[in-house]
Amino acid sequence: MASADAPCYTLVFEDSSETPTTQELRAALQKGSDEVKLDTLRKIIVSTINGNPQPQLLMPIIQYVMPSRNKQLKKLLHFYWEVCPKYDDNGKLKQEMILVVNAIRNDLQHPNEYIRGATLRFLQKISKDQELLEPLIPTCRACLEHRHSYVRKNAVFAVYSIYREFEHLIPDAPELLQTFLAAESDATCKRNAFVFLAHCAMPKAVEYILQVFDQIPSMDEHLQMSIIEVIRLDCKQETTHKARYILLISELLNASSHAVKYEAATTLTSLTQNPAAVKAAASCYINLVQKESDNNAKLIVLDRLDALRSKHGHVLDPLIMDILQILSSADLEVRRKALSIVLSLTSSRNVEEVVLFLKKQLQKTQDQEYEKAPEYRQLLIQSIHVCAVKFSEVAASVVHALMDFLGDSNNPSALDVVAFVREVVEKFPQLRRTICDKLIQTLPEIKSGKVYRGVLWILGEYAEDVQEIQEVFRQLRKVLGEIPILASEQRLLEEASAEDGEEKKDEQVKTETSKPKVLADGTYATESAFTSVSSARLEAVKAAAKPPLRALILGGDFYTGSVLASALTKLVLRYTELSSEQRKCNALKAEAMLIMASVIRVGQSKFVTVPIDEDSSERIMDCIRTLSELETQPAVHEIFLKNTKAAYSKMVAAQEKKAAEKRESEKAKAAIVQVDDLLTFRQFSKKAADDVIDDSEDVNRATGAGEVTEDFISNLSRISQLTGFSDPIYAEAYVKVHGFDILLDVLLVNQTADTLQNLCLDFATLGDLKLVERPSVYTIAPHSFQSIKATIKVSSTETGVIFGSILWEGPGLAEQCVILNDIHIDIMDYIKPAYCTEQQFRSMWTEFEWENRVNVTTTISDPREYLNHVMKATNMSCLTPEGALSGDCDFLSANMYARSLFGEDALANLSVERTEEGTITGHVRIRSKTQGIALSLGDRITMAQKDNKPPV
């Protein structure tokens, strides 16, 4: 056998610091104890694997190691016989191997069953060496009748390995193992013999199934799994036993083994499209999810159930309540997957039952001891939201139940409720009155500024009659406390000072004394004790209990204050349209203006944590100006009362349209058909409704064997030149990225007139790249070519570099070397555009700690064109709606998102402005959980900016 074709079973690290000589190894084998021989033989095996076979040690090993009775030495000898050179330079079996074959034959007849079994397993490893195997066949056959099952089961697979490679050595193997299978009682031996028949004599395997048909449900699980596999393979061909197979598989759905149940359910759906069979398979999947303890297995089974649902639609509808029982699982991912299946099965017939169950689950999450309650509650609220919007008949029953969670301390859950209520109020006008009443009552319970902003917007838009508006103002007085805010806070401070009374006068002398204080910069300052007492009182006033909305404003949340001003303006404008009582209108308007002015005044005082920002102040002032000029600005009235609601209606409609388009695209995924493609007539095909689940097809898909080959031009674009044309060896590499692997196909050209011996291509990597195996040693003739393949694993989205060298022995055994050019791995092969909701984007943006800020330097003058340029350069998708980007404006802000093959999220925010000169300034901020992807994308944008055209 040629050395290039020698199989490699193991890769072992060899410590080069202590490499003994051949003489030392020979001496250790000859004179050492069993422990020394074990260590020596281990070193020889490692050396042989790593390319230094030392053939002169073969005879000492046969002389001094082979006769030993030590079981560890015998096992290690098997490893050595696998890797040692068995053939001479002419390709003939070495004479010494006759002794080895004799020793192996003796071990196959050994009275100890462990040694027999281990030797039979060793035969499977050397199944390609016909000359070694031929003398051992009779002994191997005799082992099939050994009293111990360990020997028999290994003998079966030894026969299988030999028959698969050299059928003529055991021509009657199928009949032999069919007889063996009929007489065998051990489960593992039967399973091994059946696997042999399945792969080498399928008709005999089918015959065996029909013979033991009634006993199969009570057989061992491994044999049941093999039988299911044979049924699947047999049904690929034309078979008359399909009806009996379906009956058998249906019985195996009730097997005790989870693996058998899963395989039986998967196979059943590939054999028939009968609704009863599909429902039985789905019930089996649901049962598996409920009983299986491994969460990964649960997710895999749920994926299979979801695939079944997508193909058979409403057949699974009656099982929806069974699927809901999966929510009792503690894992959040399992719950999320189960809920997505439930929501896709929900129809007008079962929506009430589903929502009732979800409401009960929602009540359970209020229990403090409930595991992962906040996250689960948020998931349930989102699911109820989807149901209520999709089926209007349940909206009324759930909206009030969900509004109880507006005061939830878990902010995301409360925000989901606000989003849900806002959509329901817009879509179902008949519910507006009751929802607004409930929101008004809930105002004192709300704790979050974001939730307050959502509720105030809803009340400002949808409180549509006089009584409601008055009730809103009444509740707002309660949650704001005494107005004006600044005057009441000042009074509280004065009262706190007055309470000290006489004590203050007695301590006046002390309070006016001063003491030195060291400042942060090391200088001294004088601090009055009176000042300390005043600041302490101020802090005490700030810390006192306050109504919720007042507390938010004093805490510095002036954005909520500006939303409050906007809501009050809408309410006053609507009240003036509805009411004819001028006195009441003026009173309401004055109260609203007082609240707004009070917010601005207190924002400029010492009572707030941070002073009011310019934007909020300007927004509130606009609202005051609108109310003070009521009669003169009808256009502004229209903006407040109509345009904002119309904008939200438009947004909801756009979301619905997008969802409908997504559903349509999922339904009709039309493949591109070429003119010369074969026509398939469904009526003439043997395939059932579902594709047959085939492990070999799965492997082909996973390894890319079934993929369409790339065209010649795209291959040329991926070629990297590694050495120069004047180097002794010219090298170039074709870099192919496939999934998590990078395949390097390196072409070496010997440009010299000498033979290059022991040539080795040595690669090293930088970044999250890992070389799978070291290329072998080659000899290249003068002016000839050599192709070498190397595989590199990628473990994260980070710019990686592959570098290396070519080493060989020149004239006079002098070592020569050529350093290769670096190969930079493009991370764009691992980044794909993705989509997420605005809320998910904000949540991730807050959570991710790595940020890379890239300043914009480009000759592109149009902000929208620059956004497209960045999206193409980074493979990111734009999350900002088209409506927000349309129109002619000198400023553009957009959010972008992408995911890597490794599940890493990449977020980006583009903020650019067009200057008066026509150039674009601004920056792109990239955030991710890991540093590598943020830096790599930043580098990508920087490189793309050097050229106006995005890189190809």
The answer to whether 259 and 228 are in contact (CB under 8 A) is no
Residue type (1 letter), 619: R
Residue 326: count of CB within 10 angstroms of its CB: 21
The answer to whether 780 and 807 are in contact (CB under 8 A) is no
Q: How far apart are CA 200 and CA 196, in angstroms?
A: 6
Greatest CA separation found in the chain?
119
Between the alpha carbon of residue 866 and those of residues 861, 886, 910, 934, the distances in Å are 8, 14, 10, 20
- pLDDT of 509 > 50? The answer is no
Residue type (1 letter), 476: L
Residues above pLDDT 90, as percent of the chain: 2
Q: Which two tokens stand for residue 244?
A: 């009996």
pLDDT band per the 50, 70, 90 thresholds, residue 909: very high
Query: Which DSSP state fits 7?
Result: -
Q: How far apart are CA 426 and CA 459, in angstroms?
A: 12
- Name 271's Cβ contacts closer than 8 Å, sequence gap at least 6: 231, 235, 242, 245, 246, 249, 277, 688
The tens digit of pLDDT for each residue in 480-501 reads: 887 777 777 777 767 666 665 5
- pLDDT of 685 > 60? The answer is no
3-state SS string for 828-862: HHCEEECCCCHHHHHHHHHHCCEEEEEECCCCCCC
- pLDDT of 214 > 80? The answer is yes
- Predicted confidence at residue 708, as pLDDT, reads 45
- Name 78's Cβ contacts closer than 8 Å, sequence gap at least 6: 118, 119, 121, 122, 125
- pLDDT of 472 > 50? The answer is yes
- Name 163's Cβ contacts closer than 8 Å, sequence gap at least 6: 169, 170, 173, 196, 200
What are phi and psi for residue 913, nearest 5 degrees? -140, 140
> What average pLDDT does range 636-664 have in this prediction?
74
The answer to whether 144 and 109 are in contact (CB under 8 A) is no
Packing angle, helices 411-427 and 432-442, rounded to 10: 150
> What average pLDDT does range 677-705 have in this prediction?
52
Q: How far apart are CA 686 and CA 693, in angstroms?
A: 15
Burial class (CB in 10 A: 0-12, 13-18, 19+), 212: middle
- Predicted confidence at residue 908, as pLDDT, reads 92
Q: Which two tokens stand for residue 723?
A: 């050495």
> What average pLDDT does range 657-671 have in this prediction?
65
Query: Which DSSP state fits 888?
Result: -
- pLDDT of 534 > 70? The answer is no
Handedness of CA 197, 199, 204, 205 (dihedral sign): positive
pLDDT band per the 50, 70, 90 thresholds, residue 506: very low
User: How do strand 777-780 and strand 756-766 relate by DSSP bridges?
Assistant: antiparallel
The tens digit of pLDDT for each residue in 541-581 reads: 555 667 778 888 888 888 888 888 888 888 888 888 887 78
Cis amide prior to 484 (ω within 30 degrees)? yes
- Predicted confidence at residue 518, as pLDDT, reads 58
pLDDT band per the 50, 70, 90 thresholds, residue 316: confident
Q: How far apart are CA 599 and CA 596, in angstroms?
A: 5
- pLDDT of 389 > 70? The answer is yes
3-state helix, strand, coil in the chain (%, to 5): 60, 15, 25
Between the alpha carbon of residue 684 and those of residues 234, 674, 679, 687, 950, the distances in Å are 19, 21, 11, 9, 49
Residue type (1 letter), 406: L
The tens digit of pLDDT for each residue in 64-75 reads: 888 888 888 888
pLDDT band per the 50, 70, 90 thresholds, residue 951: very low
- Predicted confidence at residue 682, as pLDDT, reads 47
The answer to whether 457 and 567 are in contact (CB under 8 A) is yes
Between the alpha carbon of residue 841 and those of residues 369, 832, 879, 897, the distances in Å are 30, 16, 9, 8
Alpha-carbon dihedral angle through residues 825, 827, 830, 831, given to the nearest 10 degrees: -170
- pLDDT of 13 > 80? The answer is no
pLDDT band per the 50, 70, 90 thresholds, residue 925: very high
- Predicted confidence at residue 102, as pLDDT, reads 87
- pLDDT of 511 > 80? The answer is no
> What average pLDDT does range 694-713 have in this prediction?
53
Contacts 24+ apart (CB under 8 A), 15-20: 19/47
pLDDT band per the 50, 70, 90 thresholds, residue 907: very high
DSSP 804-830: EEEEEE-GGG-EEEEEPPPEEEPGGGT
The answer to whether 353 and 393 are in contact (CB under 8 A) is no
Q: Which 3 state secondary structure label does DSSP give 758?
A: strand
- Predicted confidence at residue 948, as pLDDT, reads 58
> What average pLDDT does range 316-322 have in this prediction?
84
Between the alpha carbon of residue 476 and those of residues 189, 414, 425, 473, the distances in Å are 80, 20, 21, 5
Q: Quickly list H helices, 680-727.
A: 695-703, 712-716
Residue type (1 letter), 329: S
Residues above pLDDT 70, as percent of the chain: 83
Q: How far apart are CA 173 and CA 176, in angstroms?
A: 5
pTM (predicted TM-score): 0.65
* Arithmetic mean of pLDDT over the chain: 79
Residues forming a β-bridge with 803: 764
Residues forming a β-bridge with 926: 852, 908
Q: Which 3 state secondary structure label does DSSP give 547?
A: coil
The tens digit of pLDDT for each residue in 320-363 reads: 888 888 888 888 888 888 888 888 888 888 888 888 888 888 87
- Predicted confidence at residue 926, as pLDDT, reads 92
Residue 924: count of CB within 10 angstroms of its CB: 25
Burial class (CB in 10 A: 0-12, 13-18, 19+), 693: middle
**H or E segment at 358?**
helix 351-364
DSSP 556-613: T-HHHHHHHHHHHHHHHHHHHHH---HHHHHHHHHHHHHHHHHHHHHHTSTTSSSPPP
